[in-house]
Amino acid sequence: MNELKEKILKVCNESSKNTMMETLEIEYIDVGENFLIGKMPVNSKVHQPDGVLHGGAMVALAESVGSTASYIFLDAENYFVRGIEISANHVKSVREGEVFATATIIHKGRTTQLWDIKIRDAEQNLISVCKLTTIALPKK
């Protein structure tokens, strides 16, 4: 199973090249049967003017991890995945370190999927709670 896990993470990380995920330094670090975890450094690139993590950067992390999870768990050969709605409640500020987003499936329909994404810091403090709805669209 470790070999499959490593292969999935490698594909996810390679797909981030020349994208916003690369700009934000998002890295996919763990995957399981119904979840994906990504991490992002907290530094001046993602700060708001007063030196804390920008809420928009957290939403970008959440949507990136949730959409990538949809891609993993769906038939990506025949379908595109797109985010169609995201909501976020930011509950704690972060100034430095790393944040970790864990996307867990709530509903996996044929067309739409609903993801719960929790963002935590390295000490497991809850930073943000997000919900993402994705849609699978046929490539044909």
CATH code (residue 36): 3.10.129.10
81-87 average pLDDT score: 96
Residue 82 CB: number of other CB atoms within 10 A? 12
Least confident window among 27-31, 54-58, 80-84:
80-84
96-122 average pLDDT score: 96
Task: Name the catalytic one among 33, 63, 77, 96.
Answer: 63
> Known catalytic residue: 63?
yes
pLDDT at res. 102? 98
Boundaries of domain holding 108? 2-138
Give the list of residues 6+ apart from residue 118 with CB closer than 8 angstroms, or none: 101, 102, 104, 126, 128, 129, 130
Indicate the average pLDDT of the chain.
95
Q: How many domains does the chain have?
A: 1
pTM, whole model, 2 decimals?
0.94
